[in-house]
Amino acid sequence: MLRVAVVGSGPSGVYAAQTLVQQREVPGVRVDVLDRLPAPYGLVRYGVAPDHEKIKSLSGSLRSVLEDDRIRFLGNVEVGGPALSTARLLELYHAVVYCVGAARDRPLGIPGEELDGVHSATAFVSWYSGHPDAGAFDLTGVRAAVVVGAGNVAVDVTRILARGAPELEPTDMPDAALGALSGSGVRTVSMVARRGPSQARFTTKELRELGALAGVEALVVPAELATDPAYADGGAAAALPAVARRNVEVLRGWAQAAPDPGAARRVTLRFYLRPVEVLGGPDGRVRAVRFERTAPDGAGGVFGTGVYEDLDAQLVLRSVGYLGVPLEGLPFDPVRGTVPHAAGRVLRAGRASVGEYVAGWIKRGPTGVIGTNRPCAKETASSLLQDAGALARRELPGDPLEALRAAGLRPVEWPGWLAIEAAEGELGRSLGRRSVKIPDWAGLRGAAGLT
């Protein structure tokens, strides 16, 4: 038997586990999927926006993998913490595949970023997704919000801020977040990109959805669109990647739409503005963000023009990408925020380390959609399977689950997770809603039967 630990139960971890047990070349592979949280599914549970039901429903296919007899889910197990080092984990298994994602947000690196009211989009997403480590957001007094960045996460947080109560209520958002968002006084959300519409990173489906929210007027500044050579000139647009071409066409539609004076909220996409400072009021809270206008340099980049514009905001969310976090005992490339690897094999001092692998965002950086993790995990799994002969020669000390318990860990197994799911259904029913997330450690552990 080849015993493998997969660390992280998000899409890359589950796809890695699936590939390992469903292949035919190496028989008898058994996989334990470990997660720091008592609940599985990683960013599908704690990152995909709660109003994106179709993407959320991917958890159904992840579930059927984790229910395979050859796979065990062991939640509530922190690898790299005091009870379980990465070195010890490698003693307990023939191989370990790290699929720990990219947990940190990138900072802007500008003055004023530490002011009250300035947060990472990651923190905001964690809050409305019910992540047990998330802090609380108080939206009292927030009328205008600025979101910095033009990726799909920026679109997610902009949309959630702009949505009304009727659309948020059917989600599994924790009750406190639902109350704060649906009762908020947010009237304008500006999503601000430092480059032009044809360089924006969001996808067209997400952009269209943002333009079609009930009671929300979607706006652009025509002069900013016209600054983009690909917007102004059809010939230049033809050379763009298809997604950028479609985005530009959607924004053209926004620019041509009739005004909607009755809209309850406004979402404005701004372009060619790079953040230079967050401005605070006498109370130490953010009051505006100062941007420098940029201009295209003809090669996809921009340069500063020395012209500045302040956008009022009582809430600022920076959404400029995720960054991997180093894991105790594993090599780390601080610039890329990833673990160095060759085809998924962890590289230590440039040489492949026997038995240690990576997949997902910690391997390739925070890019791509959920499906991108499938080929990524397959590549890693096939490297591991090529090494299987050498790996399986090592005698293991016994069932790793016993060793984890002996180290003082209290793993939440699959029935524990099912109990959490049932408790969330019950909580939803008691609130007159559908299933509602339990947003704290004590609640999750209690529901799983750990007292």
Interface contacts to ligand NAP, rule CB under 6 A? 108, 148-154, 156, 193-195, 199, 201, 206, 274-275, 319-322, 366-369
Question: What is the closest distance, in whole angstroms, from the C-beta atom of residue 274 to ligand NAP in the complex?
Answer: 6
Question: What is the closest distance, in whole angstroms, from the C-beta atom of residue 30 to ligand NAP in the complex?
Answer: 31
- Tokens at residue 58, please? 């991917």
DSSP string covering 58-104:
THHHHHHHHTSTTEEEEBS--TTBTTB-HHHHHHHSSEEEE-----E
Inter-residue contact 438 to 130 (CB < 8 Å): yes
* Sequence-distant (≥ 6) Cβ neighbours of residue 113 within 8 angstroms: 107, 278, 318
Q: Which is nearer to ligand NAP, 199 or 314 (CB)?
A: 199
Pick the closest to residue 58 from 319, 323, 369 (CA basis): 369
Question: What is the closest distance, in whole angstroms, from the C-beta atom of residue 170 to ligand NAP in the complex?
Answer: 18
Inter-residue contact 330 to 100 (CB < 8 Å): no
The two most distant CA atoms of the chain are separated, in Å, by: 72
Q: Which is nearer to ligand NAP, 55 or 419 (CB)?
A: 55
Phi-psi region for residue 185, left (φ > 0), alpha (ψ -120 to 50) or beta?
Answer: alpha
Question: What is the closest distance, in whole angstroms, from the C-beta atom of residue 199 to ligand NAP in the complex?
Answer: 6
Q: Which is nearer to ligand NAP, 196 or 400 (CB)?
A: 196
Question: What is the closest distance, in whole angstroms, from the C-beta atom of residue 278 to ligand NAP in the complex?
Answer: 12
Task: Spell out where 184-321 has E strands.
Answer: 188-192, 216-220, 265-270, 273-280, 286-296, 302-312, 315-318
Question: In whole angstroms, what separates CA 362 from the centre of its chain?
Answer: 12
Q: Which is nearer to ligand NAP, 81 or 368 (CB)?
A: 368
Question: What is the closest distance, in whole angstroms, from the C-beta atom of residue 296 to ligand NAP in the complex?
Answer: 12
Total residue length of the chain: 451
Q: Which is nearer to ligand NAP, 154 or 162 (CB)?
A: 154
Return the residue nearest ligand NAP (CB atom).
Answer: 151
Question: What is the closest distance, in whole angstroms, from the C-beta atom of residue 414 to ligand NAP in the complex?
Answer: 28
217 strand-pairing partners: 266
Q: Which is nearer to ligand NAP, 13 or 355 (CB)?
A: 13
Pick the closest to residue 231 from 253, 202, 203 (CA basis): 253
Q: Which is nearer to ligand NAP, 117 or 366 (CB)?
A: 366
Q: Which is nearer to ligand NAP, 376 or 388 (CB)?
A: 376
DSSP string covering 124-170:
HHHHHTT-TTPPP---TT--EEEEE--SHHHHHHHHHHH--HHHHTT
Three-class DSSP category at 275: strand
Q: Which is nearer to ligand NAP, 86 or 372 (CB)?
A: 372
Question: What is the closest distance, in whole angstroms, from the C-beta atom of residue 52 to ligand NAP in the complex?
Answer: 6
In degrees, to the nearest 5, what angle opens at C-alpha 162 toward C-alphas 156 and 163? 90
Question: What is the closest distance, in whole angstroms, from the C-beta atom of residue 157 to ligand NAP in the complex?
Answer: 9
